[in-house]
Amino acid sequence: MSATGGRSRRDFGEFAVLIARLIADPVHLETRLDRATAALEREGMRVAVAQMLDFCSDVLEIGLPEGDAAALRAILDEHFTPADLLVSAREIAVPDLFVSDMDSTMIGQECIDELADFAGFKDRVAAITERAMQGELDFASALAERVGLLAGLSEETITTCLTERIRPMDGARTLVATLKAKGCRTVLVTGGFHHFADPVAEDIGFEQVVGNRLAVADGKLTGALAGAITDSSVKERVLREEAAKIGPDAISLAAGDGANDIPMLRAATWGLAYRAKPKARKAADGWIDRGDLTAVLELLGIPHEEWVSG
């Protein structure tokens, strides 16, 4: 493998159709690359170039003149797991738009599960959440069932929960601050609640928030939602509408972890699954399984010296 600096798709030759960037354990990296290359060739996919990026020295970039993106992801997954990966059919660059899920993506918790703990229903609610994120339950009905269990809980409990339980994922602030410094618009869209998402977005640095609203009466949760549900279709619509505002050539990046993020991940130029459930991971253009959220910056090819601390 040779280090040449930050080559683009054009540098691979005008017939390059697929680019993969990955970050994996450096031990025996060349041996694993040789095996992956052989496996790709057996599937009719020739590796034109494989090199470490000198501005992100732990990022291996692979260019192929032909091939299938899903097959490429599968073979690289087999030979390099655990790894952080992005496969693209276009030149990889800083996106114009970043849209992300919140729970278990930008923060390390599921807010409704933590809030349910104060009501004495955490195990029950967490089990429903897990099945919904795996895609085993209808999101809207699962959300309604969980919110119903919160009826009677004091609104002040949300503030306590937010202060004591909710923490950003490692690298979240740096990721968002750096993308914004590069001119990227940032939107947090969540199937969770504005009571949590608004302060989380302010803390991490997102410019816009879309989410659900918990209904409150006399200082207590009613067990219902106020307004329409933010579900998978809304997440996708937000991404498409925000990209359209930027222009027809807007490059979009989406991040999420659950089944309700899949339409958004697929609609984006690049969808990245962060420590994700299997269905979301399979639907994405790549994933972050090894590093923290700053791995996204490395995969995008943004040098460390240009990162902005959030």
Active site residues: 101, 103
Q: Cα–Cα distance between 186 and 170 in angstroms, integer?
A: 18
Q: With contact defined as beta carbons under 8 Å apart, do 32 and 24 qualify?
A: yes
Q: Which two tokens stand for residue 134?
A: 């795996």
Encoded amino acid at 19, one letter: I
- State the burial class of residue 115 (Cβ atoms within 10 Å of its Cβ: 0-12, 13-18, 19+): buried
> Is residue 202 classed exposed, middle or buried when 0-12, 13-18 and 19+ CB atoms within 10 A define those classes?
exposed
Q: Report d(CA 21, CA 299) in Å as an integer.
A: 6
Spatial contact of 173 and 205, defined as CB atoms under 8 Å apart? yes
